[in-house]
Structure formats: C-alpha cells, structure tokens
Amino acid sequence: MIEFSVAGWSAWAPDLTTPEQWRAWAEQPWLPQGDAAPALLEVPAMQRRRIERLGRMAIQAACWCEQAEGESDIPLVFASRHGDVARSLSLLQSLVGQEPMSPTAFGLSVHNAVAALYSIMRGSRSNYLALAAGAATVEAACLEAHGLLADGAAEVRVIVYEAPLPALYAEFADEPDAGFAWCWRLRAADQPGTRLSLSLQAAREVPQELELPRGLAAHKFLISEDVSMMNTVDGQSWVWERHG
C-alpha cells in the first residue's frame, strides 16, 4: 500500500472549468460531451496553434496547477491511456493511402509529445515522464509519483488526460468515452491536503459496467465525499481509500 496527500488540483472538461463546477458535478456526475477545447491563454497564440485538443486540455490543467515558486524543481508525470490516438490513426491512414506523412504530425503523435510541449512552452526544466498502463493508468501514475516523493521530491504533479477514441476503435472500448484532463499536486502523506491510500488486492467482485472513464472516476473520488473506490483490472482490484 502507498499513501500520499493531494495538496491541490485543477481540471478541465467541456462545461466543467471551475472548482465549484467540478464539486457540484461530483455530487451528481455525468459524462462530459462535446468538442470544446480550453482557451489556454497561458500559451502564446503562435504556439497554441500547433496544439490539438488533447494537448490543450492537458496543458491547461497543468498550467492551472502551477505555483509561483519552485516550478523548476517539481517532477511531472503525464499519463494517458491512449494518448493522441486520433493523430496516430491519421498517420496510419496516410500510410495505407501511400501518401506522404507529416514529420510534424509524427513528432506530435508520440506519447510524450504533450509533456514535451508543456516543458517547452512553459520554459520548464523539471524532470518529466509520460506513461500509459491500460486500465490502470491512473494507478501507475500515482505509483510513479510516490516513487519520486520517496526519492526526495517535495511535490510531484500528476497530469491525466484523455480524449474519445476514433469511431474505428469503438469496438475495443471498455469504458465510456469523454474528453477531460486533471492535474493533482501530490505530496508526502504527512503533508497538508487530502490523504489517500492505494493498494492492490485480489479482485473482490466481478467489475460492473462503468458510468465514467476510469481516469475521470479517480478525480470524482478525490473531490467527492466517498471513502473508497475500486478499479478492477485483470482479476485484481486497485483499492483507493480516503483518510481525511
């Protein structure tokens, strides 16, 4: 079991931009829909033009979590189950059609592209990594962050972001689709904030049909009054618990 404290958070989804809106949503959650994208005013217009919707959501959430001091020393964990799969699909379709591929599009399709864009655009020299771990992507991100805290980091930012799958991949989806991004400021468990624990156990029950994407369900757990949450993956259950 690992424990950590969430010292602060930010999040963006269509029609959900302020902490008040998110807390009201957590009481009666619904699946965010629509193609809206954040304004991302923190980034100069010329740089914003090259960022697709998925990247805008992730970078917006990360920008809103920034603090005035010590930014260059805070490690970043970017986590997305599928990444910019729509851009990757477009490149594959170009290959099938024997059309030339855009080097820029290829560079922006790799899984760490959003993290790299954030680092460049915000002038950040912090350590960052990008990961994907299937249905346990959020849990893997928190494990990585906990390891960085154990290595001496005072705080780690975890940025989780997803976009709906292209229609071609719809038959493979095992959770609802939604576009969203959130950023948590993780600190050691004895620091002020919402203290959470995360453990891996043998599955207690057959998983039920999901009402929210797993990444969004994790954020709902943080900002709600729920005392526990379970994410069952491959016969094992990731158990989240709140301790204050």
Q: Is residue 146 part of a domain?
A: yes
Q: Is residue 203 part of a domain?
A: no
d(CA 117, CA 119) in angstroms, rounded, equals 5
The pLDDT tens digits along the chain (244 residues) read 999 999 999 999 999 999 999 999 999 999 999 999 999 999 888 888 888 899 999 999 999 999 866 577 899 999 999 988 887 777 787 778 888 877 777 667 787 899 999 999 888 888 999 999 999 999 999 999 999 999 999 999 999 999 999 888 888 989 999 999 999 999 999 999 999 999 999 887 666 678 999 999 999 999 999 999 999 988 889 999 999 7
Q: Is residue 231 part of a domain?
A: no
Q: Is residue 215 part of a domain?
A: no
CB atoms within 10 A of CB 226: 14
Q: Is residue 94 part of a domain?
A: yes
CA 79 to chain CA centroid, Å, is 5
Q: Is residue 113 part of a domain?
A: yes
Residue 220's identity, in one-letter code, is K
d(CA 109, CA 113) in angstroms, rounded, equals 7
d(CA 229, CA 238) in angstroms, rounded, equals 8
pTM of model > 0.85: yes
The domain that holds 52 is classified in CATH as 3.40.47.10
The total number of structural domains in the chain stands at 1
Q: Which of 13, 62, 63, 61 has the alpha carbon at shortest distance from 36?
A: 13
Q: Is residue 77 part of a domain?
A: yes
Range of the domain at 13: 2-193
Q: Is residue 179 part of a domain?
A: yes
